[in-house]
Amino acid sequence: MSTLPTLPQDPVPVRRVNIYVTRDVAFNLDKMNEVTKNVLRKLGGCDQCHSGRILDFHIIEDFVVNPKSLEITDLPGGGRF
């Protein structure tokens, strides 16, 4: 029976960062790049590196309807907290 070699484990633990964006942001590369830079700065690192973190973008697909005007707006935070 052959034994496969064990690969070294990454010494940096992986942490997931959830980011909720609207469709107009999600489908605009310039806006997504800016959001990514801002999130990375907020996390206390440089704006080009997210080592040890998985940036998990969620498109807000939950809405609120104004009963008077029937206008539909995005629900802040996606309603998934």
Query: What's the pLDDT tens digit per position in 38-77?
Result: 999 998 877 777 777 889 999 988 888 999 999 998 776 5
The domain locations on the chain are: 15-76
Cα R_g (the chain), whole angstroms:
19
Find out whether 9 and 40 touch, Cβ atoms under 8 Å.
no
Q: Tokens representing 45?
A: 């690192």
Look at 61 and 3; give whichever has higher pLDDT: 61
The SS3 call for residue 56 is: strand
Amino acid letter, residue 21: V
* pTM of this structure: 0.64
